[in-house]
């Protein structure tokens, strides 16, 4: 199938594409500024910049109008005012509404397509909107469903504890990327090398140590305080104990590890863990780890290339608890190939039975560079299935005393839904919240890592490190110079 967009009075191509992708990942589209031809399926989208800005979308099948949607600026309340944002919102809203009628699908997050939804509440609060006005923005402007509005307020209740302009501006958080994995999972597109020779890993760690050292020096020069550290990837736990010690010894030159509020280490794959490795992490004052099942269905695990079984998860979790890790997170994914509601119930009941402090629930996203996406003939949104799966998770998590504490959405996500972090009381991961809500500066070190410098309203564009091992090593000084320039503007 193919939809042709005719634009009049605007050029919001990116927005139209995203509006379509909410409903359909398979249909091709074309955007034109020429006059309407009336063949096949078309959407005519107009923006009128008169005294009151207005937008209209009409969905045609050949020459016949099937659906029409019009909105004007009156009654559109936004979290912060901006004429461009208002125009874009009107165009998206009208296109969304004709597509909603055409597909007969009523998305939970309405017209929203961005990653950071709870940030809308934070921004609105900053602009002195009342709670009623914020509800109005979510409900009427963005067409978010009531249960999701409640979820957002629940999340904000926990996140609010971490919002303080003075300390948020003063803090920084260090992200360290380890782009190696024991095998490639079919759904994943994170930058990671499988079976990388030790020589290359060691050479990577040399560059990484250099980058960490320089980054910490820059942060200290700007009088930033280290709040949290997050070692992610990839799978950092593929490293040997000596390699892990080497990373921490670089940090130790500047900070006493035991004083750092939160050190997360993604020890995601149980096939990379044993008692010695977990003890090595503990000795380096890591106080939060992830041991990630994704699912407790062994057939699925094998089919997505995880190369471990569900019993390995339980075994390594129990060892980690015995060693004394106080906060353990477990990641799961909803919508893995072949899974239904009962698989998810089985997974969450076993996991919640283990009682980890955090459970992070992802909805499968079709990533451009994953094997699953490459091999899929058709991309299924599976709205109803994913919705039911989220209900199962919510029911079991609530029953076991977990609360949602952060959320984000991804493009091409199944069910057009979200990823939700659940936590036991007081055990929320600070890094996840300050990163997703863009509350504090993140300085990223390592291949593909992203840095973001935050100074109140004036946040900088993200700085992304190179994504190939060769380039990362060769051009590390370029990255450090860019960081210096960005941080240079940030005189606290
Ligand atoms: C950066 S990965 C690292 C985790 C670790 N290497 C592991 O596999 O356990 C973090 C998490 O992202 C999630 N993830 C990765 N690809 C995904 C996708 N395509 N859709 C949804 N979640 C995804 C998985 O739950 C994974 O645990
Ligand atoms: S999910 Fe984890 S282990 Fe699998 S490829 Fe992605 S980063 Fe590597």
Same domain? For 444 and 345 the reply is yes
d(CA 145, CA 24): 20
Gap from CA of 122 to ligand 1 centroid (Å): 27
**For the chain, what is the domain count?**
2
Residue 188 C-alpha to ligand 2 middle, in angstroms? 6
Predicted pLDDT of residue 381: 81
Whole-number Å distance, alpha carbon 384 to ligand 1 midpoint, is 23
b/e map 349-383, b = 16+ CB within 10 Å: eebbebebbbbbbbbbbbbeebbbbeeeeeebbbb
294-312 pLDDT tens trace: 999 999 999 999 999 999 9
Q: Which of 57, 78, 105 is the last residue of a domain?
A: 105
Q: Are 101 and 194 part of one and the same domain? A: no
Pocket residue to mutate for ligand 2, from 196, 238, 265, 268, most atoms within 8 A of Cβ = 268
CATH number reported for the structural domain that contains residue 326 in this entry: 3.80.30.20
Q: Is residue 444 in contact with ligand 2, taking CB distance under 6 Å? A: no
Looking at the fold, whether 224 and 322 belong to one and the same domain comes out as yes
> What is the number of the ligand closest to the CA of 183?
2
Tell whether 73 and 168 lie within a shared domain: no
Tell me the average pLDDT of the chain.
Answer: 95
Query: Which residue's alpha carbon is nearest to atom 27 within ligand 1?
Result: 331
- 357/249 same-domain check: yes
Q: How many angstroms does the Cα of residue 107 sit away from the middle of ligand 2? A: 29
Residue with the nearest Cα to atom 8 of ligand 1? 268
Nearest CA to ligand 2 atom 2: 234
Residue nearest to atom 3 of ligand 2 (CA): 181
Region 355-376 average pLDDT: 92
314 and 201 part of one domain = yes
Residue 176: name the closest of 244, 241, 240 by CA: 244
Peptide bond into 234 cis (omega under 30): yes
The answer on pLDDT for 117 being more than 80 is yes
Domain closes at, from 87, 105, 123: 105
Ligand 1 centroid distance, CA of 364 (Å): 9
> What is the per-residue pLDDT for 458?
64
- Is residue 362 within 6 Å of ligand 1 at its C-beta? yes
Domain boundary among 64, 83, 105: 105
Q: pLDDT tens digit string along 11-24?
A: 999 999 999 999 99
Residue 240 lies in a domain: yes
Note whether residue 310 is domain-resident. yes
Domain with 50 in it: what CATH number? 3.40.50
Domain shared by 99 and 211, yes or no: no
333 lines ligand 1 (CB under 6 A): yes
Let me know whether 215 and 90 are in one domain: no
Query: 62 CA to middle of ligand 2, Å?
Result: 46
Model confidence pLDDT, tens digit, residues 210-264: 999 999 999 999 999 999 999 999 999 999 999 999 999 999 999 999 999 999 9
For residue 181, report the distance from its CA to the centre of ligand 2, in Å: 6
Q: What tens digit of pLDDT does each residue of 319-352 get?
A: 999 999 999 999 999 999 999 999 999 999 999 9
pLDDT, residue 457, reads: 64
Strands 171-178 and 180-181: unpaired
Q: Is the CB of 100 under 6 A from ligand 2?
A: no
Evaluate: CB of 266 within 6 angstroms of ligand 1: yes
Interval between CA 215 and ligand 2 midpoint (Å): 26
How sure is the predictor about 490, in pLDDT bands with cuts at 50, 70 and 90?
A: very low
Establish if 411 belongs to a structural domain. Answer: yes
Considering the domain architecture, whether residues 413 and 277 belong to the same structural domain is answered as: yes
Q: What is the pLDDT of residue 489?
A: 54
Q: 286 is in which domain, residue-wise? A: 162-483
φ, ψ dihedrals at 282, nearest 5°: -60, -40
Looking at the fold, whether 94 and 174 belong to one and the same domain comes out as: no
Instruction: Indicate if ligand 1 lies below 6 Å from the C-beta of 365.
Output: yes
Q: What is the mean pLDDT of residues 354-374?
A: 94
């Amino acid at each position: 199938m193919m939809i042709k967009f005719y634009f009049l009075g605007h050029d919001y191509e990116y927005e139209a594409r995203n509006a379509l992708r909410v409903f359909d990942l398979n249909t091709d589209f074309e955007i034109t500024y020429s006059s309407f031809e009336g063949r096949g399926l078309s959407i005519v989208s107009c923006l009128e910049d008169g005294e009151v800005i207005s937008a209209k979308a009409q969905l045609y099948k050949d020459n016949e109008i099937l659906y029409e949607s019009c909105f004007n600026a009156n009654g559109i309340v936004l979290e912060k005012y901006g004429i461009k944002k208002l125009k874009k919102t009107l165009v998206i809203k009208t296109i969304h509404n004709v597509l909603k009628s055409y597909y007969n699908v009523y998305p939970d997050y309405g017209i929203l397509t961005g990653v950071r939804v709870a940030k809308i509440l934070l921004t609105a609060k900053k602009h002195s909107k009342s709670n009623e006005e914020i509800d109005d923005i979510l409900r009427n402007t963005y067409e978010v469903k009531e249960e999701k509005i409640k979820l957002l307020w629940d999340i904000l209740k926990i996140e609010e504890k971490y919002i303080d302009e003075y300390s948020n501006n003063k803090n920084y958080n260090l992200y360290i990327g380890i782009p190696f994995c024991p095998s490639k999972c079919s759904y994943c597109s994170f930058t990671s090398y499988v079976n990388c020779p030790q020589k290359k890993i060691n050479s990577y760690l040399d560059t990484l140590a250099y980058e960490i050292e320089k980054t910490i020096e820059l942060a200290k020069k700007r009088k930033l305080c280290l709040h949290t550290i997050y070692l992610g990837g990839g799978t950092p736990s593929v490293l040997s104990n000596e390699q892990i010690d080497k990373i921490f010894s670089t940090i130790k030159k500047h900070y006493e590890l035991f004083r750092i509020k939160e050190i997360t280490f993604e020890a995601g794959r149980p096939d990379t863990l044993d008692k010695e490795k977990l003890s090595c992490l503990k000795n380096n004052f890591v106080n939060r780890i992830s041991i990630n099942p994704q699912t407790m269905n062994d057939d699925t695990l094998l089919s997505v290339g995880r190369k471990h079984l569900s019993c390995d998860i339980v075994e390594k979790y129990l060892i980690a608890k015995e060693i004394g890790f106080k906060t353990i997170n477990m990641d799961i994914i909803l919508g893995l190939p072949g899974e239904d509601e009962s698989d998810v119930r089985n997974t969450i009941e076993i996991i919640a039975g283990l009682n980890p402090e955090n459970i992070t629930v992802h909805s499968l996203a079709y990533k451009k560079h994953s094997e699953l996406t490459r091999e899929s003939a058709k991309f299924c949104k599976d709205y109803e299935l994913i919705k039911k799966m989220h209900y199962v998770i919510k029911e079991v998590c609530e029953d076991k005393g977990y609360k949602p504490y952060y959320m984000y959405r991804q493009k091409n996500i199944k069910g057009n839904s979200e990823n939700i972090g659940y936590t036991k009381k007081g055990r929320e991961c600070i890094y996840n919240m300050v990163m997703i809500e863009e509350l504090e500066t993140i300085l990223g070190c390592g291949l593909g890592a992203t840095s973001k410098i935050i100074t109140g309203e004036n946040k900088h564009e993200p700085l992304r490190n190179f994504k190939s091992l060769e380039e990362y090593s060769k051009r590390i000084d370029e990255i450090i110079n860019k960081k210096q320039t960005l941080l240079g503007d940030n005189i606290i």
